[in-house]
Chains A and B, each alone.
Chain A
Amino acid sequence: MRGLIVKDLLYMKTTWKNLVVMFIGSLLISIAIGNYLLAISVIPVMLLASGISTFQTDEFYNTESYTLAMPLSRIKIVTCKYLFTLIMMLISTIIGLIIYELIIVIGHVDAAGINVDMLKQLIMLELASVIVNSIFYPVIYKYGCEKSRFVLMSIVMLLLGVGSIFSVYINVINVQKIDFTKYINFIQEHGLNVLFVAVIIITIISYGLSILFYRHKDY
């Protein structure tokens, strides 16, 4: 299993220069607008997005058949992708913290501009990225990278459509009776915990679906 994780990690060497350029750009924007969250979050979020990129390169270089010819079960191959995402999340958190410290210590930045809330927002962004990955992975295993984009776009559009109709329906009933501030306060207070639980549940479902789809896939 370690071999496939190393394979995906090695892929990162082709993207690090782009990540550095992106970081410099985002840091400059952060300084200009006085919001350091952008500088802190861009690299971690991009690192997490690399999970999906590894699927794209696998598809581009047609490595799927070769991977399946290795002495690994299909379950192990899927597990490697999820472990890779977990590793990238740990790496991205460490990088986020390093950037955070660098901005404060080296950059002589006003500490008021950077605080614990910002780090919480960074972790929330990372968790949100993990959710996006978890949604993408099973769809990619089912349809491949190219088709999965359109499949997901169709699903999102369908959900938006259904949601729009549903919201109209709620408005017809009596939307004034719903206390949205209660929900907003709850999210502000417990958002990170909720997101954390959501990530675990969605990831487990995603992992199960990925195995189910990949088990039946031919390459």
Chain B
Amino acid sequence: MNIEVDNLTKNFDEFKLDNVSIKVPKGQIVGLIGENGAGKTTLLKCILNVMHKDAGTIKLFDAEYQDTFKENIGVVFDNSFMNETFDVRDINLIMQRVYHNWDSALFFRYMKDYKIPLKKEIRKLSSGMKKKIEIATALAHHPKLLILDEPTSGLDPIIRSEVLDMFQNFVTESDHSILLSTHITSDLEHIADRVIFISDGKIIFDEPLKQIKEEYIVLEMTKEEYAKFNKKHIIRYKENRLDYLVLINKKNMQTSYDKYIHNITTLDDIMLLYIRGAICED
């Protein structure tokens, strides 16, 4: 395992990351989804020791946490990088003194590929370009593990696709893996091996993406249909003005659901119903 988190707890005044356990195996991309304030960034920061845990254990590369392990971790935070008055040459100057394995040639190759001007201050670049610099910085010291918080936000679809390809190439090395949190769940549907859904500081599910796609389905039904539907199969439901959206797990269904309208269920649909939907009391 590249990451093994066991019963991690972090308390804040009005929020608690509650007994969270996750695993990121070698060779896999694990996606972390959840609404704003669900605890995704807190979890990532605890893994990196940017925040202190209150309880639980964190293992990186099959060993107890040590600061030197970060030599093998590439990081992209949602809203934290370097002083934006720097240009990419400054970033290179700094990072080659931070990471033993820093590869200046690789870094500048990324800059060339991404068409990043070398002499322009980061603050004068677009948000997409800034994000590309952050991703290149995370990759240029040949890490084994990437911990990425919203790595594709601000990127246009073409660059996003390139970046996602890059992530997929990264895990072709058998000991590499990625833990990434994102709001753009469609990204995960293309690349993730496993998806962890976190809400209000708790893990709601942690399952292989294939299994999620196979098992979860959102049905649209009229009020009459909903009234007749066996409520024990309902994970969550949401009442709209004219119809009901119902989240079910197909493997629990003995009867056919084909008579109900059901489109391809996305991670967004599932997340939305878990967060906004209600639990059936019947």
Interface residues in chain A, defined as those with a beta carbon under 8 Å from any beta carbon in chain B: 2-4, 6-7, 10-11, 14, 57-58, 61-66, 68-73, 216, 218-219
Contact = CB atoms under 8 A, between A and B. Distances in A.
Contacts of B99: 70-71
17 contacts: A3-B98, A4-B94, A6-B93, A6-B97, A10-B94, A11-B83, A62-B79, A62-B80, A63-B82, A66-B77, A66-B80, A68-B49, A69-B48, A69-B147, A71-B99, A216-B52, A219-B45
Nearest to A57: B83
Contact of A68 (B48, B79, B90): B48
Interface in B61-80: 67-71, 73, 75, 77, 79-80
Interface string B191-203: 0000000000000
A71 B100 CA distance: 10
A200 B70 CA distance: 33
B66 to A, nearest CB: 9
Nearest to A69: B75
A62 B51 CA distance: 15
- Greatest chain B CB density within 10 A among A14, A65, A68, A219 is at A65
A218 to B, nearest CB: 4
B80 A65 contact: yes
Interface of B: 45, 48-52, 67-71, 73, 75, 77, 79-86, 90, 93-99, 147
A6 B97 CA distance: 8
Contact of B84 (A61, A68, A70): A61
A126 B85 CA distance: 27
B80 A71 contact: no
Contacts of B71: 71
A69 B84 contact: no
A71 B77 contact: no
Contacts of B82: 7, 61, 63, 66
A215 to B, nearest CB: 9
A2 B86 CA distance: 17
A10 B82 CA distance: 11
A66 B44 CA distance: 12
Nearest to B89: A10
A14 B85 contact: yes
Given A66-B81, A216-B52, A71 B68 contact: yes
Contacts of B45: 65, 218-219
B67 A11 contact: no
Given A14-B85, A66-B80, A71-B70, 14 more contacts: A3-B95, A10-B93, A10-B94, A61-B81, A63-B81, A64-B80, A66-B75, A66-B81, A69-B147, A70-B98, A71-B68, A72-B67, A218-B51, A218-B52
Contact of A69 (B68, B73, B86, B94): B73
Given A3-B95, A10-B94, A71-B99, A219 B50 contact: yes
Nearest to B141: A71
B83 A63 contact: yes
Contacts of B147: 69
Given A63-B80, A66-B80, A218 B50 contact: yes
Contact of B70 (A58, A69, A216, A218): A69
Nearest to A7: B94
Nearest to B72: A71
Given A63-B80, A65-B77, A69-B50, A10 B86 contact: yes
A62 B122 CA distance: 14
Nearest to A64: B80
B98 A61 contact: no
Which 7 pairs, one residue from A and one from B, show the smallest C-beta to C-beta distance? A3-B98, A3-B97, A71-B70, A65-B80, A2-B97, A69-B75, A71-B71
B180 to A, nearest CB: 14
A64 B75 CA distance: 13
Contact of B94 (A3, A14, A62): A3
B122 to A, nearest CB: 9
A71 B49 CA distance: 11
Contacts of B51: 218-219
Contacts of A10: 83, 86, 90, 93-94
